[in-house]
Amino acid sequence: MSEVELKEGRTVTLCRYCLSEKSLTVNDGFETDEDFHNHLEEEHDLVVRRENETEEQAEARVKQKNPRIGTEECRCPDCRRKREE
């Protein structure tokens, strides 16, 4: 996670996984933690625990929304790296 403070005083978060893969601008940043966490879950197949949620609950929630997690189509950094080896 990389936070960037904009000249108008706002701070946005840039995804470090996307930074390594694509050319990003501050317009590609996330202004809220919720938006950033949703991005990690939806685009990178990473489980992010939300407030008052156990690890098991978070994993079940994300896997229900995203059944490719843990399969050959999983886009998490670990699975992608293993496929490239």
Question: Is residue 72 predicted with pLDDT exceeding 80?
Answer: yes
If you ran DSSP here, which 8-state letter would residue 83 be given?
H
| Residue 24: pLDDT band with limits 50, 70, 90 | confident
Range list of β-strands (E), the chain: 2-5, 11-14
9 is written with which tokens?
A: 């005083």
**CA–CA gap between residue 64 and residue 82 (Å, rounded):** 24
Query: Can you tell me which residue has the tokens 């893969």?
Result: 21
- pTM given for the model: 0.83
- Within the chain, residue ranges assigned H as helices are 16-21, 33-44, 55-65, 77-84
pLDDT score for 65: 93
22 against 55, higher pLDDT: 55
Range list of β-strands (E), 17-60: none
Report domain extents, the chain: 2-84
| Residue 58: pLDDT band with limits 50, 70, 90 | very high
